[in-house]
Chain A
Amino acid sequence: MQAFLDIFDIYLLEAVINGILLGGVLALLALGLNLIFGVIDVTWICYAELVMIGMYAMYFMVQYYGISYFIAAPFTILLVAILGALLHYLVIAPLLTAPPINQLLATGGVLFVLQSFATVAFGIDFRNLGIRLPVLAFGDMNFSYARLLSFLAALVGMVAVYLFMTRTFTGTAIRAISQDRQIMALMGVDTKRIYLITSAIGGGLAGLAACLLVLQYDVHPFVGLSFGPITFLICVLGGLGNFIGGFIAAFVFAEIISLGGLFSDLEWGYVLAFAFFIVMMFIRPAGLLARRR
């Protein structure tokens, strides 16, 4: 009996730590989506599809052209940042004053366009980088280097965004804009430019997430479905547009998935997480940390 408990505790600890590691990347995705929603007041339904394109970019650069992972990563981040800016310029900007449902449908359309584009251009094969990172054994616990690296890189990415948002004039304007859009011109702020910069940052975060996820998951045209919906649930659970709420909710979700997976299959972890979300929507419909107005 004692022996059973010892093993159980080790597995539990391993699951908790793996949950934290998973939470890092989810928090990164949630930050990107929250940033767009909080600043521009639109929801990029196609956010995870930007990640998918980024994963393909990594795949082709690393696997096809033989570029080293660490050189390919900044290019991918830049590419998806440009995609984010283009998405804003071509799709969102003309619809800024349109009803939210129209914006939602338009970005939903982009989702299908990107999925179909990937299917036509790259086929439906599952592809991976072919990089096998070692597994780190710590006592009886096993952690994959890929997850550890992803967690640290996601943390660095979030800290970088935090510093940008708090230390620079442009970052301060990004935080200010949703509080009073009309008077931004009095501050000498061109709101169109701020929206474009914000979209590029949101895209860049998706690009970073792509570089990290491609280490752990195969790429295929529908890979966005694996983490798109969960990113939305995290943002809603944390309170849409609330950065800190999204951060906390990402780890709450990741722990439920990871611990749920420990007691049963990984799929049941997701079921538990979604069930938890539904219950929470009854208890706190505006999110864990509802935006106070």
Chain B
Amino acid sequence: MLELRSVSAGYGTFQALFDVHLEVKAGEAVGVIGPNGAGKTTLMRVISGLIRPSRGSIAMEGVDVLATPPHKIVSLGIAHVPENRRLFPQLSVDDNLKMGAFMKEARGHYAERLEVVFDLFPRLKERRYQMAGTMSGGEQQMCAIGRALMSKPKLLLLDEPSAGLAPVVVQQVFELVKRIRASGLTVLIVEQNVQQVLKVVDRAYLIEAGTIRASGSSAEMLASDTVKEAYLGV
């Protein structure tokens, strides 16, 4: 479904990604793990068009993502839940969700998608007229994921969904990811919480200093010495 070939990217003179190859097949859940500053967020931003790579190619279902203007990439079926959620804090939950359905293709399905999202997150329905910025971290994360789902994506990019949340809430978020997966959505998830994320994904990539160091199925990654020593604290 999604294919990155030799992607290099950075900010100004700082290079964050070096020759990254990555593939996500339809129906898969794929994790990207690695330490802080390894380039995980940059990877997500390159896919959704927030930054343009200096080299390489990205294809979504055969369509050249780099030839698509950034605001049209969501129309290719890629929805990005950014790091730190990035809700519109002074808009209501309803309005935040509405923004998720902004693109022309999604407006027609607005009511129907709203129902899907409220089914998945009954909490959001209770809070629909509340300012998004006044909700708890967990509720905000639900809202951010809900907003991304409003566009009826094929591929969901999740950037650190557990960051800054209380341990109980982290559990809930990973439960949600499982349910979203079960609904048939393809998921690419970036996480520092390695132990948790390897329970929900089929495969994972380990990224360090902007380079893919290892990849394999969740079981292989869990068994790998590199991953064990550096991230699982075993």
Contact = CB atoms under 8 A, between A and B. Distances in A.
Interface of A: 169, 172-173, 175-176, 179-180, 182-191
Interface stretch (B5-13, B14-22, B101-109): B101-109
A189 B88 contact: no
A37 to B, nearest CB: 16
Given A175-B91, A175-B95, A188-B102, A183 B82 contact: yes
B102 A183 contact: no
B107 A169 contact: yes
Given A172-B95, A188-B74, A189-B99, 18 more contacts: A172-B98, A172-B99, A173-B99, A175-B91, A175-B95, A176-B91, A176-B95, A179-B88, A180-B86, A182-B50, A183-B50, A185-B49, A185-B70, A187-B100, A188-B75, A188-B106, A189-B71, A190-B69
A172 B50 CA distance: 21
A179 B72 contact: no
B148 to A, nearest CB: 8
B154 interface: no
A185 B102 contact: no
* Interface range for B: 20 to 34
A10 to B, nearest CB: 45
A191 B50 CA distance: 13
Contacts, number: 62
B86 A183 contact: yes
Given A175-B91, A175-B95, A176-B88, A188 B107 contact: no
B164 interface: no
A183 B88 CA distance: 10
Nearest to B73: A185
Given A172-B99, A176-B99, A184 B91 contact: no
A187 B73 CA distance: 9
Contacts of B147: 187
Interface in B53-99: 69-75, 79-80, 82, 86, 88-91, 95, 98-99
Nearest to B91: A176
B74 A187 contact: yes
Interface in B133-160: 147, 151
Contacts of A182: 50
B91 A179 contact: yes
B57 to A, nearest CB: 20
